[in-house]
Amino acid sequence: MAKARRQMQEVIKRVDVVLELVDARLPLASSNPLIAELAGSKPRVQILTRIDLADEKQTSAWEKYFQESGYSCLPVDAKSGKGIQRLLPLLETILKDKRLRDAKRGIRPRPFRAMVAGIPNVGKSSFINRMARKASTKTGDRPGVTKTQQWIRLGEIELLDTPGVLWPKLDNQVAAHKLAVSGAIKSDILDAQELAAFFIVWAGNHYPSALLDRYQVTAPIGVQWTSAGEVWSEVEPVLEAIAEKRGLLGGRGVMDLERAASLVVRELQTGQLGRMSLEWPSELGV
């Protein structure tokens, strides 16, 4: 963490703007506070990634939330390229005053220099690859693929891709569960049944038809998440029903809840349960 901090401090001195990539499904939980701290007064753009998996209504609400909070915000889909074309015009607007100051001082225009930052597995390399329209950096679906800093020249923009950095300890357990169930951090950090329980409670309160449409089972409505143990009596019948529907049997014909839980988490992460967001701006402070 200390090494990453030093590296980012040095890099930020050399860029015009910081592009922080966050998961559109959970923009706050997937934002590393270290990035905002080190960016200081440097212009910062919140790039909302994976909008193809997020609830469209909530993504629009988050874009409005960030803009009203004084941040530039750009939702993008690295797979289709949606939103990518808006980045250069956005940077031109953000850095217009700097360009004018440079011109008055006789400094010739140069490409915008931007640092691409974010937690692991948020889609930094896929974002850069889409901008370049070629596989300029290696990508992966697990944390830790981008290991070193590298400059990528893309016409009017020079991007510095940096390794994903997580803060050393996730004190907010709700945020930790959201990160794990979304696939942003390794799912084996938390038990599959606990993650599934967390999501089932969330789905019951926010997307009550999701489990019904996919598994023909009903999620509990009105249950508040505290811990897996506290809500297990409400969640266990749901996992049992899913296991029965999918024929997930363990020894002696008992329903395999572990496999059912892993199935739910996997299908959430791949979008098979529909487009969902795990954070809603309307619930901030609730």
Residue among 185, 183, 222, 172 nearest 200 (CA)? 222
Token digits for 156? 């009017």
pLDDT, average across residues 157-166: 79
What percent of the chain has pLDDT above 70?
90
Give per-residue pLDDT as tens, 177-226.
999 999 988 766 789 999 999 999 999 999 999 999 999 999 999 999 99
Main-chain phi, psi angles of 65, to 5 degrees: -60, -50
First to last CA, the chain: 31
Q: Are 146 and 164 in contact (CB under 8 A)?
A: yes
* Comparison of pLDDT for 176 and 7, the residue scoring more: 176
Q: Are 50 and 80 in contact (CB under 8 A)?
A: no
pLDDT at 1: 64
Report the mean per-residue pLDDT for the chain. 88
Q: Do the strands 44-49 and 150-154 form a parallel or antiparallel pair, or are they unpaired?
A: unpaired
- What separation in angstroms does the CA of 242 have from each of 133, 177, 260? 41, 21, 6
Token digits for 237? 């019948």
pLDDT at 166: 66
Of 99-108, 154-163, 269-278, the one with minimum mean pLDDT is 154-163
Distance of CA 212 to the CA centre of its chain: 26
Q: Can you give the residue ranges of every domain in the chain? A: 2-161, 173-281
pTM: 0.88
* Comparison of pLDDT for 153 and 202, the residue scoring more: 202
Of 57-71, 161-175, 197-211, 232-246, the one with minimum mean pLDDT is 161-175
pLDDT at 49: 97
Q: Which helix (H) or strand (E) holds 19?
A: strand 17-23
CATH topology of domain 2-161: Rossmann fold (3.40.50)
pLDDT, average across residues 239-250: 95
pLDDT at 214: 97
pLDDT at 143: 38
pLDDT at 139: 45
pLDDT, average across residues 225-230: 93
pLDDT at 169: 58
pLDDT at 140: 45
| 3-state SS assignment for residue 192 | helix
pLDDT, average across residues 7-14: 84
Which residues are 22's β-sheet partners?
48
* Comparison of pLDDT for 269 and 129, the residue scoring more: 269
Give per-residue pLDDT as tens, 137-149.
444 444 333 445 6
pLDDT at 27: 97
Give per-residue pLDDT as tens, 61-87.
999 999 999 889 999 998 899 999 999
CATH topology of domain 173-281: Conserved Hypothetical Protein Ylqf; Chain: A; domain 2 (1.10.1580)
Give the other-Cβ count within 10 Å of 185's Cβ. 20
